[in-house]
A and B are shown apart, each in its own frame.
Chain A
Amino acid sequence: MNEFCRIAVVVFFTTFFFSSAGRATVAESIAAIRAVGPEGKGNAEAARGWQELARADAAVLPELFRAMDGANELAANWLRSAVETIVDRSLASGGQLPLDALHDILRDTGRNPRARRFAYELIARVQPGIANGIIPRMTDDPSLELRYDAVQRLIEEGGRLAAEAKADEATRVYRRALDSAREIKQIQQIKGAMDKLGVTVDLPRHFGFLMQWRLIGPFDNTGRKGFDMVLPPEQAIDLAAEYPGKTGPVRWAPFTSEHEYGLINFNLPYGPLKEVTGYAYAEFQSDAARPAELRLGCKNAWKLWANGRLLFSRDEYHRGMEIDQYRFPVELKAGKNSILIKVCQSEQTETWTKEWEFQLRVCDARGTAILSADRPPSTIAKGTPK
Chain B
Amino acid sequence: MKMRLSAGAALLLAFPLTSLGAGDWTQFRGPSGNGISPEIGTPTRLDPARSIAWKVALPGRGLSSPIVVAERLFLTCASGPRQDRLHLFCFSTRDGKRLWERQFWATGRTMTQSKTCVAAPSPATDGRRIFALFSSNDLFCVDLDGNLLWLRGLTRDYPNASNSLGMASSLLVVGDTVIAQIENDSDSFAAGLDAATGVNRWRIERPKSANWVTPVLVGELGAGRPIVALQSSKGVQLVEASNGRVAGSYDATAATIPSSCAGGGVVYVPCNGITALRAAGEGQAVQKLWEAKTLRPQTASPMLIGNRLFVATGAGMLICADARTGEKVWQLRLKGPFSASPVAATNHAYLINEKGFLQVVDINPEAKEGRLVGELTLEPTILSTPAIAGGALYIRNDSTLWKIAGG
* A contacts, CB < 8 Å to B: 38-41, 43-44, 46-47, 50-51, 54, 73-74, 76-78, 80-82, 84-85, 88, 114, 145, 148, 183, 185-186, 299, 312, 314-317, 319-322, 325
A322 — which chain B residues lie within 8 A by C-beta?
A: 111
**Whole-angstrom distance from the CB of A357 to the nearest CB of chain B?**
14
**Whole-angstrom distance from the CB of A88 to the nearest CB of chain B?**
6
Partner of A73, one of B81, B103, B111, B153: B153
Would B151 and A77 count as touching, CB distance under 8 A?
A: yes
**Whole-angstrom distance from the CB of A190 to the nearest CB of chain B?**
14
Q: A47-B150, A316-B184 are in contact. Are A39 and B199 (CB under 8 A)?
A: yes
**Whole-angstrom distance from the CB of B272 to the nearest CB of chain A?**
21
Tell me the residues in window 132-166 of chain B with beta carbons closer than 8 Å to chain A beta carbons.
138, 140, 146-153, 156-157, 159-160, 163-165
Would B199 and A40 count as touching, CB distance under 8 A?
A: yes
- In the bound assembly, the distance between CA atoms of A81 and B102 in angstroms comes to 7
Residue B15 is within 8 A (CB to CB) of chain A in the complex: no
**Whole-angstrom distance from the CB of B256 to the nearest CB of chain A?**
12
**Whole-angstrom distance from the CB of B137 to the nearest CB of chain A?**
12
**Whole-angstrom distance from the CB of B101 to the nearest CB of chain A?**
8
Would A325 and B111 count as touching, CB distance under 8 A?
A: yes
- In the bound assembly, the distance between CA atoms of A148 and B109 in angstroms comes to 20
A74 — which chain B residues lie within 8 A by C-beta?
A: 107, 151-153, 156
- In the bound assembly, the distance between CA atoms of A315 and B210 in angstroms comes to 12
Residue B331 is within 8 A (CB to CB) of chain A in the complex: no
Would B164 and A78 count as touching, CB distance under 8 A?
A: no
Q: A50-B148, A81-B104, A314-B186 are in contact. Are A43 and B164 (CB under 8 A)?
A: no
- In the bound assembly, the distance between CA atoms of A114 and B85 in angstroms comes to 10
- In the bound assembly, the distance between CA atoms of A73 and B186 in angstroms comes to 23
B107 — which chain A residues lie within 8 A by C-beta?
A: 73-74, 77
10 further interface pairs, Cβ-Cβ under 8 Å (given A77-B105, A81-B104):
A38-B156, A39-B157, A40-B200, A44-B197, A47-B149, A73-B153, A73-B156, A84-B102, A84-B103, A85-B148
- In the bound assembly, the distance between CA atoms of A40 and B147 in angstroms comes to 17
A85 — which chain B residues lie within 8 A by C-beta?
A: 146-148
* B contacts, CB < 8 Å to A: 80-82, 100-105, 107, 109, 111, 113, 138, 140, 146-153, 156-157, 159-160, 163-165, 184-186, 193-194, 197-200, 208, 210
Would A148 and B81 count as touching, CB distance under 8 A?
A: yes
Q: Which residue of A lies closest to B101 (CB)?
A: A84
A81 — which chain B residues lie within 8 A by C-beta?
A: 102, 104, 148
- In the bound assembly, the distance between CA atoms of A81 and B80 in angstroms comes to 18
A312 — which chain B residues lie within 8 A by C-beta?
A: 159
A selection of 16 A-B contacts at a CB cut-off of 8 Å is A39-B152, A40-B152, A40-B198, A40-B199, A41-B199, A47-B197, A51-B147, A54-B147, A74-B153, A80-B104, A85-B146, A183-B81, A315-B185, A319-B164, A319-B210, A325-B164
**Whole-angstrom distance from the CB of B66 to the nearest CB of chain A?**
21
Closest 4 CB pairs of A and B: A320-B164, A40-B199, A319-B164, A73-B107
B198 — which chain A residues lie within 8 A by C-beta?
A: 40, 43
**Whole-angstrom distance from the CB of A220 to the nearest CB of chain B?**
20
A321 — which chain B residues lie within 8 A by C-beta?
A: 164
Would A316 and B163 count as touching, CB distance under 8 A?
A: yes
- In the bound assembly, the distance between CA atoms of A81 and B132 in angstroms comes to 14
